[in-house]
Structure 1
Amino acid sequence: MAGDPLIPAIREGALSGFRVAVKDLFAVAGYAIGAGNPTWLHEAPVETDHAPAVRALLHAGADIVGIVQTAEFAYGLTGINQHYGTPPNPASPGRVPGGSSSGSASAVALGLADIGLGSDTAGSIRIPASYCGLCSLRPTHGMVPTAGSIGLAPSLDTVGWITRTPRLLNRVSDVLLPQRSAPPIRRLLLAVDLFDLVEPAVRDMLVDEAHEWAQQTGLPLHPVDSTCAAHLEEWAEAVGIIQAVEMWQTHGRWLREHAGAVSSLVADAIAAGEAIPEDYLEWAQETACRGRRLLAELVPPGTALVQPAAPTTPPPPEQAMSDLDLLTTTVMFVCAASMAGLPVLTLPGVRTSAGPIGLSLLAAAGSDRALSALVAELE
C-alpha cells in the first residue's frame, strides 16, 4: 500500500489525507470483486463504477490505498481464509485478527490505512475491532447502502468502518451516514449480566475501563441486569437460521455450479440453509421479533447499553478453528444487534498479555450519529 494510491480522492473534503483499505466485497472501478474466493475472482467482471460507500469516501477526500482480504464470502469470525491465509494481528501477534473484515482491521492496525471499509452481518466488523484494539461502527440496518457489494444474508448485512481513534470514526460517520436527527445519548447502562460472561481474567479490568470511558463522556454508568444473557442462546440460534437460509438463497446456485471451489467449512455453512424447514425459519423470525421488542424497551432513543465486544481476547488460529464453545459464545455476544438491526459502536477496552478485548455501545435504531458524536472527543 506504499506509494501512489490505488484510487486517488475525487476532490478535497473532510477526509483529505486519510487512506482507506476496502474489503474485497465492494466494487472499486477498474477492479474485480474477489469475495475471498479465487474462483469467484477469476469469473468476476471488472467493475465499471464504485460502490456508493466507496464513492462517498472518495468524494470526501479520502484515497483508496488497497483492496484487502475478506473471509470467504464474508462468512466467519476468525479472519482465517483457507485460500489466502490469515492477515496479521499486530495487536496480538500469532493470534487471529477476527473476521470477516479481517483485512480491513489488519491494515488499520498495521498503520497501512487510516480507515477500514468493511461489512458486518453477524459480528464481522465488531470482532476484528475488539481483537485488534480498534474503533468501529456497525450502523443501523439499511442506514448505509450495501449496493455495489457482494451480499451474504441481506436482512442482516450492513456496511461498517474501522479506525484507530474515535475522532476519525466520527468523521467517517459524518460522511457515510445520512443526515437524520436523533436524541443525543444521555444515559449509559452497564450490562452486568453480559460482563459476567467474559473470561474472568479480564472481566474486572474491562468493567473498570467501561467506567473510564463513561467518565470521559460526563455521563453516569448505571449497572443493570439487561436480561439479554438469558436470551442469547435462542437469539443466536434464530440469527443462525435466518443467516443460513439467506446464505443459500444468495450463493446456493453458484455453490452447486462450482463444487469443490469453496472451502468445506464455508460450503457446508451455505449448503445447510437449503435443508432448513419452513417452520424453523418461522420460529427464528418470530424469536427475532420478540427480541427486537425487548431491546427497544431496554435501549430507547437517548440510551446506550455498554457491553463487552467479545467474550475473550483473540485466540490463536488452532483454537479459533477447533473450539466450538468459543465460536458459540462469540456468536452469542454479537447476535443481538444483528437480529434487531441496531447500531453498535466498538471502542478499545483493555490490552492483556493475550491481546485486546473491546467494549461496545448498543443503541436504538437510528442513533448512529448520536453514538459517534458521544465518543468523538474521547481519548
Structure 2
Amino acid sequence: MHDPLNAFALGGDVYIDGAKTGPLAGLTFAAKDVFDVQGYVTGAGNPDWRRLAEPAKHTAWAVAAMLESGARLVGKTHTDELSKGIFGDNAHYGTPENPRAPGHVPGGSSSGSAAAVAGGLCQLALGTDTAGSTRVPASFCGIWGLRPTLGAISMEATLGQSNTFDTVGLMADDPDHLALMGEVLLRKKVKDVRPAKVVVLEDALEACDAAVVAAFDSVLPRLAEAVAPVTRGTRISPVPLLDWLEHQNAIQGREAWEKYGEWINLNNPRLGFEVADNFLRGSKVSNRTVSAARGFRLRARRWIAEALEGNAVLALPTTPVTAPPLHSPRSVLWEVRSRMVALTAIAGMAGCPQITLPLCTVGGLPLGISLIGPRGGDALLLAAAKRIGKA
C-alpha cells in the first residue's frame, strides 16, 4: 500500500472488492480501524489492544453495506487510541498528515479516514463520531462529513466508547458522493426538500476565534441562496456552552470506563498521557454527577427542539479554530479542545444529525461550516449539501 500520508493503520492492508453493481460501484472507501473486517484484527489505535485481540469473526454492518453497494475497500485507517482523542495525534503510531493543511494536525479521532479522503487516496471513508471525531477532522482537512442521527446507522461490530453518543461517521470528497453514501447507510433516498430557514447560533460564535466568525459570516449569503433564508439572534442555551461540555464529559467518561475499565485493570496497557487521563477521570465520575448530566441532556434536547421549530436548520462553524500546528503545546490544545467539544456537544447532546461543509478557509487553512437538523433529518442536510455543491 502506498501511504504517503501515514493515513493507514498497522495491519490496515485490507483490500476487498465490492459488488459489481450498486449505487457505489466504482468508488473506493477506507474504514477507521475500529470497524471489524472478518479475518482481520481490529487495532483501535493501541498496540496492546491489537496484540490481545483475535481476528474479527464478522464484518461490521457499515462496512458490509458499503461493499454490497459496490464500493471497494482499500484499507483501514489510523485512529486516536480507542477513539479517545480529537486532534489526530497517536502516541504509538504518529499523526497522519493533513494534505490540505501541511504542518497542522488532521483532527481526530477519525484522523486517517479524513486524511485519506483529503489526499485523494479514496473517495469515501467511514469514521465514528462521539464528541466530534468525524466533524472535527472533516473541518480541519477540508472535506464533507456527516454525523448522522444517533442510532440511524448500526454500530454492530464497531468499537465505540459511549453508547449514548457513538455514531458511525461519513466522509467524502464531494457532496454527491456523500449523499450516495448516506442513501446506502441510512437506507433512505435524498430528495430535494428544503428547510424553511437557517438559524445562526449566536452563542456558538462566542466560542470561536474572531477570524473564524468573520469567515462564517462571509458564507451566510451562500447558505441563504442554496439552503434557505438566514435568521440571526438565536441563542441555543440559557447557560454557557462550556456547561454542555462538562455534562457530556461526565456521561461519555463514565460510559467509556464502563466499557474499557475491566480491560485496562486486567492488562495495564500502554496509553498516551491524555488517553490515560481521560479514562482515569471517567472512572471517578460519581453516580450523582452522571444523573445530573443526564437530566441536563434532557433539558438541552428541549432547547434544541425549540430552536429547530418551524422547519429550521441550525448554522454554526464546525470548529472554533482551524487545525492547530503539529506539536502545539498540550496546554494550548487543552483550551482549544474545550471550545471544540462545547460546539460539537450541541448535536451530540440532542442526538441530531450534523453535516460539515468545506466552504471557506482562514489564513489558507480549511474551515468547516455546519448545519444541524432535527432527529431523522439526515437526508434534509445531505440535500442541502448537494445544492451548495452545485451553487
Alignment TM-score > 0.5, same fold:
yes
Question: Compared with structure 1, are the counterparts of its residues 21 and 255 closer, same or farther at alpha carbon in structure 2 (3 Å cutoff)?
Answer: same
Q: Aligned-pair distance for 1:260?
A: 4.2
Match of 1:232 in 2: 241
Is 1:359 the counterpart of 2:369? The answer is yes
Instruction: Give 1:83's aligned amino acid.
Output: H
Q: Aligned equivalents of 2:371 and 2:68: distance in 1? A: 29
Match of 2:113 in 1: 104
SS at match of 1:36: coil
Is 1:342 the counterpart of 2:352? The answer is yes
Match of 2:9 in 1: none
Task: Please say which of residues 109-118 and 345-354 is displaced more in the overlay.
Answer: 345-354
Question: Compared with structure 1, are the counterparts of its residues 180 and 294 closer, same or farther at alpha carbon in structure 2 (3 Å cutoff)?
Answer: farther
Instruction: Give 1:178's aligned amino acid.
Output: R
Match of 1:312 in 2: 321
Q: How does 1:30-109 map to 2 (within 5 A)?
A: 30-109=39-118
Q: Aligned-pair distance for 1:261?
A: 1.9
Report Cα offsets for 1:129-169 as digits up to 9, x if no partner: 11011110100100000011112111100001111211111
The RMSD of aligned alpha carbons is: 2.0
Match of 1:213 in 2: 223
Q: How does 1:241-260 map to 2 (within 5 A)?
A: 241-260=250-269
Q: Aligned-pair distance for 1:283?
A: 0.8
Q: Aligned-pair distance for 1:212?
A: 1.3
Percent identity over the alignment is 35
User: In 2, are the aligned partners of 1:92 and 1:355 still within 8 Å (CA)?
Assistant: yes
SS at match of 2:387: coil
Match of 1:113 in 2: 122
- Return the TM-score normalized by structure 2: 0.92
Instruction: Give 1:153's aligned amino acid.
Output: S
Q: Aligned-pair distance for 1:351?
A: 1.6
How many residues of Structure 1 are paired with residues of Structure 2 in the alignment?
378
Q: Aligned equivalents of 2:236 and 2:354: distance in 1? A: 18
Match of 2:179 in 1: 170
Q: Aligned-pair distance for 1:227?
A: 3.3
Please point out which of 268, 279, 298 is paired with 1:289: 298
Please point out which of 352, 372, 387 is paired with 1:377: 387
Please point out which of 165, 189, 203 is paired with 2:199: 189
Give unmatched runs, 5+ long, in structure 1.
none
Please point out which of 269, 279, 282 is paired with 1:270: 279
Give unmatched runs, 5+ long, in structure 2.
4-12
- Return the TM-score normalized by structure 1: 0.95
Report Cα offsets for 1:259-299 as digits up to 9, x if no partner: 14222321221122222111111111111110011101111
Question: Compared with structure 1, are the counterparts of its residues 176 and 168 closer, same or farther at alpha carbon in structure 2 (3 Å cutoff)?
Answer: same
Report Cα offsets for 1:77-97 as digits up to 9, x if no partner: 100000100000011111000
Instruction: Give 1:201's aligned amino acid.
Output: A
